[in-house]
Amino acid sequence: MRNLVKLNHFYHPEELIEALNEFVENYNNKRYHESLNNLTPADVYYGRSDKILEQRAVIKQKTIAKRRQLYNQEKILNL
């Protein structure tokens, strides 16, 4: 896969300002940040981070349990 640069053409300053505002909004509030445990800044700011991290931990434990169960079933079938 090659790097691809898409250029946007703005014919009025208002279009450029709107595009920049959308970029800043996405970058600062909607994008997951690795330094914030893959949470959005809005999640951290509004105090939703603990609940989200707890849900992720529950999902992770269920996934690990399911994988172990499937592994053990496959192991029994291949004996």
Chain centre to alpha carbon of residue 79: 40
Closest CA to 31 of 43, 45, 48, 16: 43
- Model confidence over 30-42: pLDDT tens digits? 899 999 999 999 8
For the chain, what percentages of helix, strand and coil (3-state, to nearest 5) are there?
70, 5, 30
**Domain residue limits, the chain:** 10-47, 49-79
Read off the pTM: 0.65
pLDDT of residue 43: 92
